[in-house]
Amino acid sequence: MFTGIIEALGSIAAIEKRGGDMRLQVNSATLPMAEVKLGDSIATNGVCLTVVSLLNNGFWADVSNETLSLSSFANAKVGQVVNLERAMLASSRLDGHIVSGHVDGLGQIVNCASDARSIRLSIEAPANLAHYIATKGSICVDGVSLTVNRVEGSVFELNIVPHTAAQTIIQHYRAGTAVNLEVDLLARYLERLLQAKQPVRNGISMATLADNGFLRARK
């Protein structure tokens, strides 16, 4: 599990095709590699990767076809800068939100504009993920825990403060950039629990929540 608070930036140093899928070498000058062991999980642009080989300043990890089908790694390039976060400890402070590192799909930057010292991002989510995204809810974008400001259809808006932009690859986003999205874990499980009681054909509605006791009736 992760928090969505980026620890370091790294870069893709090598890409190897392996039996139909891929192995990546990721280097970082600032990730504390002395504390990383074989088998550890490192979120790389929000994708939970398992360390299969250690280097002085980086690691190798395998990327399965399932991951390639859902993430931006299908178009990864040598030299590409990536967000990095090691798995959280049970004793860690949860500064962001609960992130699994299991990417749900790709979004696309629709608009990127300055707002005082912040950056306003508009991102279009795939239709099958849009109903999980709620105003003032949490979403993970390329491994970064962010709060949703506004939702209109499948497009949602984020405000990026200067510190977050400077410490992540968000500073490089432009219109058309593809980003890895992981929706709120609680929303996915809530929908699954409701489906066990009755079919949910068009996502979770306010009526469905009320019928299943998740909303209090107004007095």
Q: Which domains does the chain have, with CATH numbers?
A: 8-86 (2.40.30.20), 105-186 (2.40.30.20)
The secondary structure element, H or E, covering residue 169 is none
Q: What pLDDT digit, counting tens, does each position of 119-129 carry?
A: 999 999 999 99
pLDDT number for residue 108: 98
- Between 29-33, 80-84, 94-98, the lowest mean confidence (pLDDT) is in 94-98
| 3-class state of residue 188 by DSSP | helix
pLDDT tens profile 45-63: 999 999 999 999 999 999 9
CA atoms within 13 A on the CB side of 160: 26
Q: Please report, rounded to a whole number, the percentage of residues in the chain having pLDDT higher than 70.
A: 89
